[in-house]
Structure 1
Amino acid sequence: MTILAKDAAVLMDVLANPEGAWSDQHREALEKHTLGGHTFAIVSELSYAADPPAEAEALSIFQSAVGVLKDAGANVIEVSIAPIEKQLQAVTSCMSFRHGVRKYLEGRSADVDDPLDAFETGNFSPQAREAFAYWVSKDKTNCPRYEEDSGRRAVAHELESLMKNTGADVLIYPTWTFPPATRERAVEEYRGDNSQVLAPVSGLPAISVPAGRFESGLPAGLQLMGRRGDEALLIALAHAFQERTGHFHPPLYRGLPAIDQQP
């Protein structure tokens, strides 16, 4: 996770070239894309028609973000995901967390070789107890790969078709439709977020960018979602949004040092 979209571009270029074959694909995209000329589609069910309804302050911040897009020359439309609601609800998480972590820890120097050991010894943040207990409660080893998961791929196909049919370059919606939970009361105050509704289910790329703050000082975000392979475009648009708004969380974050040449 990064605060600046341009830092995400640097990290993506590094992660996409693990063998050291340097590529500036994501950083170069920062200069190729501006907000103007692109079509942003507001997902109604995650924004104005959210259930439960978006809190007024969250909606106001989102509307301000939409205003920034329009002022920059972007085309903004509204779309509905109601036709695929049943498909979204039909996709369920496959409980492969323990199996995946064990595979990752194989051959590595670590104090534990199974996340269940960490849970049973209390080696975790207290705020994570409920979620940790859930994910280590089962140990499935035969979860389908994304390429084999017909439910997730069907959702991705429908969302990409929605973008194609409406001429949308990206889908947008508030990261939260109400204030996020504070660190001190993470479990008690957490009320869900939009980041988990479309992107994890479909496997399509998405990025959240700071969009302002609530009066309480808590951060608000704007999420952009695109087609498969659109990571560079999403990062570039998020960067353009940040450059235009100056929204960065936390305010003292300095970002990565500039990279002027190949390592």
Structure 2
Amino acid sequence: MTDLTNLTISEARTKLRAKEITAAELTDAYLCAIDSANGSLNAYVAVTHDQARAMAKASDERLANNSGGALEGIPLGIKDLFGTEGVHTQACSHVLDGFKPRYESTVTANLWADGAVMLGKLNMDEFAMGSSNETSYYGPVINPWRRSRATTIVRPVTHTGDAAFVSDGGVRTERTLDNMQLVPGGSSGGSAAAVSAFLCAGATATDTGGSIRQPAAFTGTVGIKPTYGRCSRWGIVAFASSLDQAGPITRDVRDSAIMLKSMASVDAKDTTSVDRPVPDYEAALGQSIRGMKVGIPREYRVDGMPDDIEALWQKGIAWLKDAGAEIVDISLPHTKYALPAYYIVAPAEASSNLARYDGVRYGLRVPGKDIIDMYEKTRAAGFGREVKRRIMIGTYVLSAGYYDAYYLQAQKVRTLIKRDFEQVFAAGVDTILTPATPSAAFGVADEDMAADPVKMYLNDIFTVTVNMAGLPGIAVPAGLDEKGLPLGLQLIGRPFDEETLYRAGHVIEQAAGRFAPQKWW
């Protein structure tokens, strides 16, 4: 039964349609895995055992009649930001205590319409504000990956199936895990950890400044942020409305293509969703990239970037070149302004969006001597430290006397960042290759990160430009660092050209191979 959780979405889909396995068996295997591992990883904040089994039973009935949907019987985890009718939806914040919506988000409704099964709600940074999944009211998510130390043993080795070591002739390299807990990245840390640890076949996630791609890179999974407007935002708890976009986190590129096809749609309830056909992304996989022009931006070589990241970038360049792509140097001159501009625009929108949490209609309410006192006490008790910090920054930059100096200037910078990309694509570049993150996963409760929030914000240095420009970006696992931790490469594409990202991402995946953590939980 346990082996069922090792199946990719594509593999499980094939076996379900061939009636080699049942959706009930697959769902039970995942529920058992969750019950066994979640105490160690804290990836789920709510597990919907009964609902999952009922949905799996219905899937089996449809499969028996050969009327199954594109994701029929596939068990998924859902980030706690997505509204799920009658099920825990709290954005992992104390201020939304007990909230269970009477509606379903458009993205999850699309998944259920295609036959997917909900396993439960996944942990995340509170209101999606964080890069480490440590701001959640329900505690940090633990990365299933751990640092390891390599020991070389010289002796004849003929065969092993143990992922703990690799063999080369008569030399065996064994990796010993240390006990340090690492973050899975954020804000979609629960989604990334659950997929990486085989606690769901795939997961929904959201990306405001890198919250899909950064945790995917930290956990050896694939994460795509689609073009702004590709997936409906209706029913997703808002952080920064002009930046937020839903996307999947999966184990490989094919699974990502399968999930995004089901998630994407136009939606009359979200006027920012775009009315254009959703392609068959899976059909793009395996297509030649010969002649594809891949841009390498010089501005992404930042001071202090680890040698591992630079070496990985060069590997990615070589893989794409070997597959027939043309590599060109490009310039995105306003990149250096992206991070400071993002941390003005995003908190400004957050301060407006989070004004609705006042203790009056739903969620936490802390009594006060009058309604103003109740508002203040509820918000003081309900929001965590990072959310309060961003609300205060956002309120400040929108206040009289500072709006022009900060918010308006940041929006002008955003326009320049978007123009940089437009000029590069107009010159014939098809996709842009960059690192996904400036480092591998770091430790939980890292003292340097805790003492200086800006260091935490720098985790988004390679990803925020994509959100500011509304472009699609994908993170694909491409190797391990010297401590055995996964590293990812990012591909950035033209608006609504996710197919090119999948084509090029599949080439990287085929060259790099797939990665899974050594089980310790």
TM > 0.5 fold call: yes
Q: Which residue of 2 aligns with 1:58?
A: 309
Identity of aligned residues (%): 22
Structure of larger gyration radius: 2
Separation (CA, whole Å) in 1 of partners of 2:443 and 2:429: 34
Q: Which residue of 2 aligns with 1:164?
A: 426
Question: What is the aligned counterpart of 2:389 among 125, 134, 144?
Answer: 134
Cα pair distance change 1:210/1:184, threshold 3 Å: farther
Cα pair distance change 1:135/1:87, threshold 3 Å: closer
Question: What is the aligned counterpart of 2:512 among 229, 237, 245?
Answer: 245
Question: What is the aligned counterpart of 1:155 among 411, 417, 428?
Answer: 417
Q: Which residue of 1 aligns with 2:486?
A: 219
Separation (CA, whole Å) in 1 of partners of 2:377 and 2:498: 36
Separation (CA, whole Å) in 2 of partners of 1:204 and 1:117: 40
Q: Which residue of 2 aligns with 1:256?
A: none
Q: Which residue of 2 aligns with 1:9?
A: 257
Cα pair distance change 1:163/1:121, threshold 3 Å: same
Matched, 1:111 2:363: yes
1:36 deviation in Å?
3.1
Do the aligned residues in 2 keep the contact of 1:54 with 1:177 (CA within 8 Å)? Answer: yes
Do the aligned residues in 1 keep the contact of 2:254 with 2:285 (CA within 8 Å)? Answer: no
Q: Which residue of 2 aligns with 1:257?
A: none
Q: Which residue of 2 aligns with 1:231?
A: 498
Q: Could you tell me which amino acid in structure 2 is paired with residue 120 of structure 1?
A: A
Do the aligned residues in 2 keep the contact of 1:163 with 1:171 (CA within 8 Å)? Answer: no
Q: Could you tell me which amino acid in structure 2 is paired with residue 55 of structure 1?
A: P
Separation (CA, whole Å) in 1 of partners of 2:424 and 2:266: 34
Report the aligned-residue RMSD.
4.1
Do the aligned residues in 2 keep the contact of 1:26 with 1:235 (CA within 8 Å)? Answer: no
Separation (CA, whole Å) in 1 of partners of 2:323 and 2:442: 32
1:224 deviation in Å?
0.9
Matched, 1:100 2:100: no
Separation (CA, whole Å) in 2 of partners of 1:220 and 1:231: 21
Describe the SS at the equivalent of 1:136: helix
Question: What is the aligned counterpart of 2:284 among 20, 23, 30?
Answer: 30
Q: Which residue of 1 aligns with 2:32?
A: none
Separation (CA, whole Å) in 2 of partners of 1:250 and 1:237: 25
Query: How many pairs align?
Result: 236
1:164 deviation in Å?
2.2
Describe the SS at the equivalent of 2:459: coil
Cα pair distance change 1:88/1:135, threshold 3 Å: closer
1:46 deviation in Å?
0.7
The superposition leaves residues 174-207 of structure 1 with CA deviations (integer Å, 9 ceiling, x where unpaired) of: 1233334233428357453433342122222211
Describe the SS at the equivalent of 2:289: coil
Separation (CA, whole Å) in 1 of partners of 2:336 and 2:482: 36
Separation (CA, whole Å) in 2 of partners of 1:85 and 1:24: 30
Do the aligned residues in 1 keep the contact of 2:320 with 2:507 (CA within 8 Å)? Answer: no
- Give structure 1 regions of 4+ aligned residues with deviation exceeding 4 angstroms: 85-90, 116-119, 188-191, 249-252
The superposition leaves residues 34-91 of structure 1 with CA deviations (integer Å, 9 ceiling, x where unpaired) of: 43331111111213xx2x1422222112211222112222211211223x35764784
Describe the SS at the equivalent of 1:77: strand
Cα pair distance change 1:102/1:33, threshold 3 Å: farther
Separation (CA, whole Å) in 2 of partners of 1:40 and 1:202: 18
Q: Which moved more, 1:5-14 or 1:223-232?
A: 5-14
Matched, 1:39 2:293: yes
Q: Which residue of 1 aligns with 2:153?
A: none
Describe the SS at the equivalent of 2:462: helix
1:171 deviation in Å?
1.2
Separation (CA, whole Å) in 2 of partners of 1:194 and 1:90: 10
Q: Which residue of 2 aligns with 1:120?
A: 380
Q: Which residue of 1 aligns with 2:63?
A: none
